[in-house]
Amino acid sequence: MSVADHIPRLADRAEQRMWFERIPTRWWVVGLILLFLPVVANNFWLFQVMGWTFILGMIGLSLMFLAGYGGMVSLLQMSIAGMAGYMVAILGPSGVLNVSLGLSWWIVLPAAFLIAALFATIAGALAVRTEGIYTIMITLAIAAAFFYFTRQNYSVFNGYSGFNLVLPPQLFGVNWRDPVAFYYLTLASATLCYFAVVYIERSPFGLALQGVRDNPRRMAALGFHVTAHRVAAYALASIFASAGGILLVWQNAQIAPGTIGISSAIDILVVAVVGGMRRPLGPFIGAFIYVLLQVFSADILGFFGFSVDRFKLIIGIGFLAIVLFSPDGVLGLWDRWRAQLAARNAATTGDGA
Amino acid sequence: MNAPVAPSRMNLPGSSHAASGNALELRGISKTFGALAAISDVTLSVKPGERRAVLGSNGAGKTTLFNCITGDFLPTAGLIRFFGEDVTVFPPYERIRRGLRRTYQISSLFSGLSVLDNVYLACRGVSRNRFSLIRPRADDALVNAAEMLVEAVHLTGEKDRLVGELAYGQQRQLEIALALSGAPRFVLFDEPAAGLSPTERRDLIHILTSLPSHIGYIIIEHDMDVALRVVESVTMMHNGRIFKEGRPEEIEDDPEVQELYLGGGHG
């Protein structure tokens, strides 16, 4: 068997086929449903349910990138998203006229991404020298510090009340907070982030990050500067979190310390774990489940006579069940179910061997 | 006979003779862990292209010596020169980028990645664009280099499998492929034959003896049949110190060595 018999897996394996022929049918179905959802779905579904799902999914995606590929569980991603969101409110126009600078969007957006990336890089540089539980603790500490800082600082972060009337720019004459427009805006952003992560997974940097996850010591013995790779991963992941954070501010039209509190930071972890941390799709699945529970559990709980506040209880029980029965999340359940199905099919048709 | 390894300028600590002509030069390397001296005052030099075995019983300090050379540990005292350059306090990746390579006693691979990806990472680690976000193309030079290395260790049929699924012997072969990536100038093999079948040992000997002659190496190996067939010089270690040096046949026939090591009941 010669080397030439194999087309390298590192590059596109199936160049003979057209690129769209390689996409499985179920992806086409999902894509078409998402694309034409506004035809059937009402504004509440588009804006609240799907918009929020995509936003949480993007912030969860940044955690999945760090944890799934880099082995670094960070509780910082909501803070990074919040930093980007705050920058949009502080640098751009908002209802708090004495703080917000009211700069134009083409300065505000790049600056928000850059400042959030800087924040992520510095925090990452602190966090990457630790492993496992200590990474979680140090990122939690930074998240908590940032939360209390925004609550107490009035000159820049406007303290407890935060910023209201933070609206997206009327680009191309579109009101981007209109439910249909906002749905497509979040869908496009989420799709872009998703495919960026899928692409990067097989790039030299993505592979090296997975190498660092599996065996950092060996990576150093192959010529890699492990710490630099980890910090760079934080910087890169901040892009996805920032995109989510900016859209979140536009969706709510406001940002306050409550947005980036400890419970929000943990929600991102829940979203990523419930969906599955091994693949970029996981956080979006997790976010969809989380949002559905958040939005509809009130009705169900009310029906059984429980307080609406018990919604976190349902999330918590669901989280516990997932962690106990499927450490790789809902996607892991799906994979195992498909593998079982395939095994059963192979057994019945008799070509299992 | 104890071959004197020390060149004349060895007695001039701090002298700036950068180009000593040795591939690897250790002077007075010691490493202590608390009260335990793992290696004491090891002085050793290996010429470019020279192949040497380091023998010794368990706990003699062989792997600690390797860890000092690669920078996994910083030595407590002493000086390490790699092709004339003082690398004593360099981080591991800086030494690797200068042409040093090593394998690990216990396979130390990336179990969640495929065979080809493992070797590709090894090739990427010693080249540019480690941080590139652009996927390599099918005709990428490093991908081709990785494919050839996979071929060289007879793993072409397994190249798309996850490393965690490989048989033990195959993982050992992959270890060697990782150590030969890029342009190695000097390789440290830490018990490459451990756990291999007789056939795999023959393959290993073939791989080692057919390395380009400019690549020198040090091999730690308990299997004397392998070790003495692939080297031209031998260093015996005992209790963290160099105990004897010589040609393979001298060491094999040395009564003291037989007493200490060969008769020591190694299975």
Annotate B94-106 with DSSP letters as a single string. Answer: HHHHTTEEE--SS
Does A221 lie at the interface with B, CB-CB under 8 angstroms? yes
- Cα separation, A85 vs A108, in Å, equals 10
- CA nearest to A7 within chain B: B138
SS3 B160: coil
Lowest mean pLDDT across A146-160, A297-311, B88-102 = A297-311
Per-residue model confidence as pLDDT tens digits over A19-58: 667 778 888 888 888 887 777 878 888 888 999 999 999 9
B108:A203 CB<8 A: no
Confidence of residue B6 (pLDDT cuts 50, 70, 90): very low
Token pair in block for residue A154: 């009035």
* Model ipTM value: 0.79
- CA nearest to A6 within chain B: B156
- Whether A310 maps to a domain, the answer reads no
Model pLDDT, residue A190: 94
- Cα separation, B100 vs B69, in Å, equals 9
Lowest mean pLDDT across B8-12, B24-28, B152-156 = B8-12
Provide the sign of the torsion angle of the four alpha carbons A208, A210, A212, A218, taken in this order: negative
Q: In what order do the strands lie in the sheet with B85-86?
A: B36-46, B24-33, B77-82, B85-86
Confidence of residue A10 (pLDDT cuts 50, 70, 90): very low
Provide the sign of the torsion angle of the four alpha carbons B144, B145, B151, B157, taken in this order: negative
More confident residue, A44 or B216: B216
Model pLDDT, residue A8: 46
A227: containing domain? 45-261
Which amino acid type is present at position A46? L
Q: Which residues of A touch B189 (CB under 8 A)?
A: none
Predicted TM-score of the model (pTM):
0.83
Model pLDDT, residue A192: 95
Per-residue model confidence as pLDDT tens digits over A55-97: 999 999 999 999 999 989 999 999 999 999 999 999 988 877 7
Per-residue model confidence as pLDDT tens digits over A228-269: 999 999 999 999 999 999 999 999 988 999 889 898 999 999
Per-residue model confidence as pLDDT tens digits over A110-160: 999 999 999 999 999 999 888 888 889 999 999 999 999 999 988 888 888
- Cα separation, B124 vs A224, in Å, equals 9
Its CATH architecture, for the domain B24-108+184-262, is 3-Layer(aba) Sandwich (3.40)
Give the helix/strand (H/E) hosting B51: strand B51-55
Model pLDDT, residue B17: 42
Does A3 lie at the interface with B, CB-CB under 8 angstroms? yes
Confidence of residue B34 (pLDDT cuts 50, 70, 90): confident
Arithmetic mean of pLDDT over chain A: 85
Interface test with A, best of B105, B124, B156 (most A CBs within 10 A): B124
What DSSP assignment string belongs to A288-300?
Answer: HHHHHHHHHHHHH
Mean pLDDT of B240-267: 75
- Cα separation, A109 vs A91, in Å, equals 9
More confident residue, A66 or B7: A66
Residue A333, pLDDT > 60, answer yes
Provide the sign of the torsion angle of the four alpha carbons A249, A253, A258, A263, taken in this order: negative
B120:A207 CB<8 A: yes
- Whether A301 maps to a domain, the answer reads no
Per-residue model confidence as pLDDT tens digits over A109-119: 999 999 999 99
Mean pLDDT of A266-291: 90
Domains of chain B, residue spans: 24-108+184-262
Q: Estimate to the nearest angstrom the gap between the alpha carbon of A234 and the chain centroid.
A: 13
Give the helix/strand (H/E) hosting B26: strand B24-33
- Whether A229 maps to a domain, the answer reads yes
Interface test with B, best of A222, A224, A231 (most B CBs within 10 A): A222
Contact B9, B15 (CB under 8 A): yes
Domains identified in chain A, total number: 1
- Whether A22 maps to a domain, the answer reads no
Model pLDDT, residue B20: 53
What percentage of residues in chain B have a pLDDT greater than 90?
28
Model pLDDT, residue B1: 40
- CA nearest to B136 within chain A: A11
Nearest CA-CA partner of A11 in A196, A202, A194, A198:
A202
Mean pLDDT of B66-95: 91
More confident residue, B92 or B20: B92
Token pair in block for residue A185: 């805006």
Give the helix/strand (H/E) hosting A56: helix A51-64
Per-residue model confidence as pLDDT tens digits over B131-160: 888 888 877 888 888 988 898 888 888 889
- Whether A218 maps to a domain, the answer reads yes
How far is CA A274 from each of CA A127, A270, B94, rounded to the nearest angstrom?
24, 6, 40
Model pLDDT, residue A59: 96
Model pLDDT, residue A58: 96
Residue B122, pLDDT > 70, answer yes
